Each structure stands twice: as C-alpha cells, then as structure tokens.
Structure 1
Amino acid sequence: MYHHVKKLMYTVNIGDPDPRFGRMLLEQFGGANGELAAAMQYSIQGINCDDPGLKDLLMDIGTEELSHLEVIGTLTRMHLKPTKKDRDAADVDPLVAIAGGGGVNLYNSAGNAWTADYLKITGELDVDLRSNIAAEARAKIVYERLIDFCDDPGSKDALQFLMTREITHMKAFMLALDSLGKPPLSVGLIPPTPGLVDQYFNDSTGEGEHGAVDMTGPWNDEKAFERVDNPAFEPQLMKVDGPNGATASKGQKRPAAAK
C-alpha cells in the first residue's frame, strides 16, 4: 500500500520563477529518463520479482522515485506558474499555459506525452538490473545538464539532491547485480555460438574525410577477440553455418510453455 505524507522529501525554494527553465524541468517529470519512468519501471519489476530481497530493493527505490517525482513536479510548477496568467510567459510553452493552466502534466520538455514505451522490463533480474543502472546514469546526466542551465540557487540545491540520489541507486543496483553471482556475459540460459561469439567484425573501415581511421583498443584487440576485417567482402571468415547464417545451439534450453 502507499501512504502520502504532506512533506516533500527535499524542501524546494526558488527565487524568481523562470518559465523557460520550467519547461526544461518537464524532462525529468514526464520524459524518458524522468522520475515517473523510474518509479514505474522499478515498481513493476518489483511486483514481478520472486526474490524477496531484490523485490524489497526494487520496491524501496521505486517508492523513493515517486517522492522524487513530487519534488521535481513541485519545482517545475513553481517555475511554470507565471504561464497561467502572463502572456509573455505563456508564449514559452502554450501547451502548459492553455491545456495545463500553468501546471505540470505528463509531457517531456518538447511537449511529447509520457509513454510506457520508456519502461525496460524483461522479467530477467540481471537484465533488468543492468537496465536500471543505465537508467540511473542517464538521469544523473540529465540533472547535471539542468544544473548547468540553472541560475537559481534554490533550484540548484534541489537538483543536486535528486542528482546525488541517482548515484546512490546506481550503487544499490550494482551491488544487487553482483549478489546474483553471474558472470558479466552470462545472460539468459541458451549459450552463444562458440567461435562466432569471439569474433569482432571490423565493419567500419577506411579513412574518413574528417580524419576518422580504423582504431584498436581493449574492446576489439586480439587479446579479447579474433578480429575479422571487412566481413562483408569476406563472409567466409565468419564462423557461422546453417541456411540463415546462424548455428543452432545445443546448449541448455528454456522449459517448454505449459499447454
């Protein structure tokens, strides 16, 4: 169950409202990397989770994200409030002014409606935790950019709080992923095709007009991979077989669905 306490997780105070900045803040209210998306993603993952400990983690953080939604929503509303009655302010975002009466709604900074397509939910704990780590990293960067565009000390303080919690959640999700004890490249049950999995396809070759050249690093050198240059021109070097260019796995299979 949920219970609302009439107090923000972080008290928000601003100086002069800035409707243009308020429109930017909508990105973290109804955007792809915003607080509602995070709250829904983690909470739904938690509902689906059979592991009691990780279920508790997901519900804890999912619930905290709802509190963050309230903080960012309150901050955004403070900056957008002049659009309700001031014509010049309303011109900054007519959608907010006319359809929303100067308040927040489930839109991003470009006026696009929130969608469940933002959510990454697979039902595989390790995959979902990796998605959550990436989601927190993206949100951290968005908050950082908002801080860079902000001149109001009170707004910056609130954004700093929200940005910091993204790192806290990243740490928790990373520790949860480690607790599963799975190798980093062990995803699902069906193993990858031997040989093929260890080939790196150098598909972008030659020299570009602006100095782009072929590069090597730990991500594609011979310590990690067998490098295949120009596989489009030498497909025989790719370790695949079968009519569709894929080798059928003889490894562990998922249980058949119940009939």
Structure 2
Amino acid sequence: MWIYEKKLQYPVRIKNPNPALAKLIISQYGGPHGELGASLRYLSQRYSMPYPELRAILTDIGTEELAHLEMVGTIVYQLTRNLTQEEIQKQGFDAYFIDHTTGVYPVAASGAPFNAACIAVTGDTLADINEDLAAEQKARVTYDNILRFADDPDVRDPIKFLREREIVHYQRFGEGLRIATDRLDSKNFYAFNPSFD
C-alpha cells in the first residue's frame, strides 16, 4: 500500500543539542495530541468510513502523520545526541535518560507514556470526523506551545512546517465533514432516525 521514500518530508538538521527542548517536543511523538495517536486514529477510522472520499482523506492524512512521527523522532534524536552526563543533568533530562537513555520513546512532555485511549474511533461518521477536526486543532496548539519555548531556527523551521500541515489537515477534514453532512442530510438523518426515535 505504501512506498517509503527514505527522506524526511521536511529536512531536519539541528546543530545544537538541547535536551530540555527535546523533553517538550517528545509530546508530539507520543503525547495525547501527538503524531503517533493521530496516525493510528485516522488509519483505524478509515475501515468503517462509508464514503470512499472520506476513506481516502483518512488514509492520506494518516499516512502523512506517520511521516510527521518520523520528523518529530528525528528532531528529538538530534536534540539529544552526544550529550555529556553534565548536560543531561543540568537540562533536566536525567529522569527520561534513566529509563530510555537517548532512545526516542512515545511519551508526553508530562512523562505519561503513550496510551491508546487517546485514539478515538467510534465507527460513527460524524463523531469521528468531528473528533479529527478537534485533534488537528489540539496538535496545532501543541506546536504553538512548543514554538513558545524554541528559539533555535534549526528547530523552529521544521516545527513550523508541522504546524502548517495540521492546519491543512483541519481544512481537509472540514471538506470531509461537508461531504458527510450532505450525504446524511439527503437521508434525512438529523430530522428522524427510526432506530432511536
């Protein structure tokens, strides 16, 4: 189904290590609004999506989120490579280091490990698409918050790119919601559903 091109969607070339910043950015790897959860959410929702256009949107965006996961992992790796014990301790990376050394582990900035509970899949077209719209906005906010703490242009540029893609995904899910709403309206879905009324 996929063809893997061995290059990042946007280049990541960070010269200066910064484990304190890596500890924040890791949230977009495995945090509650991160790329791992997004990719799994969309690639799982596509199975029960009744409209081919919406399945295509979910597949496209879910696949792109995997590319974003790779970018975030690369950013975290480059921010933590070749650290001294003093740098690890001084920048508050020691607690993470104890469990994972400098491995890229799916965890939130708060320290909570990735949890599949953040993957919302209901099988209901409207509930899932609305969840996806909200998820893209939460990811954008997380990138906004990361940018508040990042002053290194080598870090800011790829983070800005990722933020922009969240906005594009939000727009695509908006198109999907319009498609779904038009089709459900044509069945008079909102006015009367004999299964429940």
TM-score by length of 2: 0.89
Please, which moves more after superposition, 154-163 or 43-52? 43-52
Contact 2:53 2:176 in 1 (8 A): no
- Give the Å deviation of 1:82: 4.2
Note the C-alpha offset of 1:96. 3.0
For the pair shown, which has the larger CA radius of gyration, 1 or 2?
Answer: 1
- 1:89 is aligned to 88
Partner residue of 1:49? 49
Query: RMSD value over aligned CA atoms?
Result: 2.4
SS in 2 for 1:102: coil
Alpha-carbon distance, 1:123 to partner: 0.4
Contact 1:90 1:97 in 2 (8 A): no
| Aligned counterparts of 2:134 and 2:58: Cα–Cα separation in 1 | 15
Contact 1:25–1:109 (8 Å) recurs in 2: yes
Greater Cα shift, 165-174 or 101-110: 101-110
Report the residue type matching 2:2 in the other structure. Answer: Y
Q: Which has the bigger relative contact order, CA under 8 A and spacing at least 6?
A: 2
Gaps of 5+ in 2: none
1:33 is aligned to 33
Q: If each structure's helix is expressed as a fraction of its own residues, which one has the higher value?
A: 2
1:21 aligns with 2:17: no
What residue number does 2:100 align with? 100
Aligned residue runs from structure 1 range 79-228, under 5 A: 79-83=79-83, 85-90=84-89, 92-181=92-181
- In structure 1, what residue type is equivalent to 2:161? F
Q: Find the aligned partners of 1:182 and 1:6 in 2 and give their Cα distance.
A: 40
Does the residue aligned with 2:126 lie in a helix, a strand or coil? helix
Q: Offset of 1:3 from its aligned partner?
A: 3.5
| 8 Å contact from structure 1 (residues 82, 89) kept in 2 | no
CA contact (8 A) 1:190 1:253 kept: no
Q: Secondary structure at the match of 2:81?
A: helix
Structure 1: gaps (5+ residues): 193-250, 255-259
Amino acid aligned to 1:86: Q
1:101 positional shift: 2.1
CA contact (8 A) 1:82 1:102 kept: no
Deviation at 1:90, TM superposition (A): 4.3
**Counterparts of 1:16 and 1:154, CA distance in 2:** 9
Q: 1:190 to 1:178 in 2, by over 3 A?
A: closer
- Displacement of 1:46 in angstroms is 0.9
What one-letter code is carried by the residue in structure 2 that aligns with 1:148?
R
Partner of 1:5: 5
Q: CA deviation at 1:182?
A: 5.0
